Chain A
Amino acid sequence: AQSVSQHNHHVILSEAASLELGCNYSYGGTVNLFWYVQYPGQHLQLLLKYFSGDPLVKGIKGFEAEFIKSKFSFNLRKPSVQWSDTAEYFCAVNPMNTGFQKLVFGTGTRLLVSP
């Protein structure tokens, strides 16, 4: 079965620190890749997605992610975090074999940014 691993369950950073959250998936075929974010008290929302083309994807709020096919990875990065980035981040994979999305999620990483 497909699975998604997020290596860090909790991350604590100071403002202006750089962020990298790891995501690895186990699926041998072609995939769509997503990062979702859930701010405290809010619903899940899309941060960025990879479908095809340039493996370096830029999303909202200064986030980016790089798809490395050989490593089955899709790590999320931000050069300088802000207090408002405190949230839970979820990596998700959609194997490209259905018309609808069948997302497989990781367990999530809770990020706390201290001012």
Chain B
Amino acid sequence: ETGVTQTPRHLVMGMTNKKSLKCEQHLGHNAMYWYKQSAKKPLELMFVYSLEERVENNSVPSRFSPECPNSSHLFLHLHTLQPEDSALYLCASSQAGLAGGRTDNEQFFGPGTRLTVL
């Protein structure tokens, strides 16, 4: 049973819709991540939040807007998406080292949201 949950598991939306993906971690971690998994491409890191601050934005288009209201919750707000944005969106969490300290703790992944943009 994963400690990271994602809702919804499947989402179909039109290009003019606005929707949000939700991620919740029950592991007491202080870092959360959004990844995009497309067919035949490596998992792409989209955003990283460490201690509720966004520390990484991997050149993601502005139609994707993350939000991290607290250390347990992470959202990905979607608006005016394109068909090529259809993919599996994965959330993960880990325990990051403080003040830049290293950690070898693994990332725990959620089951993902399968997004289809029509």
Contacts and interface: CB of A to CB of B under 8 A. Distances in A.
A99 B105 CA distance: 11
A107 B41 contact: yes
Interface stretch (A11-19, A43-51, A61-69, A78-86): A43-51
A98 B51 CA distance: 13
B106 A100 contact: no
Interface centre among B41, B56, B100, B102 (most CB of A within 10 A): B102
B103 A103 contact: no
A43 B106 CA distance: 14
B42 A4 contact: yes
Interface residues of A, number: 25
Contacts of A49: 104, 106
Interface residues of B, number: 32
Interface string A35-76: 010000011111001010000000000000000000000000
A46 B93 CA distance: 13
Interface in B3-61: 4, 31, 33, 40-43, 45, 48, 50, 55-56
Nearest to B41: A107
A102 B42 contact: no
A35 B78 CA distance: 30
Interface in B77-107: 90, 92, 94, 96-107
23 contacts: A32-B104, A36-B109, A43-B4, A43-B90, A49-B104, A49-B106, A99-B97, A99-B99, A99-B100, A100-B48, A100-B50, A100-B56, A101-B31, A101-B107, A102-B45, A102-B48, A104-B45, A105-B42, A105-B43, A106-B42, A107-B40, A107-B41, A107-B42
Contacts of A100: 31, 48, 50, 55-56, 94, 96-97
Interface centre among A44, A49, A90, A102 (most CB of B within 10 A): A44
Given A34-B106, A49-B106, A98 B42 contact: no
Nearest to B90: A44
Given A98-B100, A101-B31, A103-B43, 4 more contacts: A43-B90, A43-B109, A43-B111, A46-B107
A101 B45 CA distance: 11
A90 B106 CA distance: 14
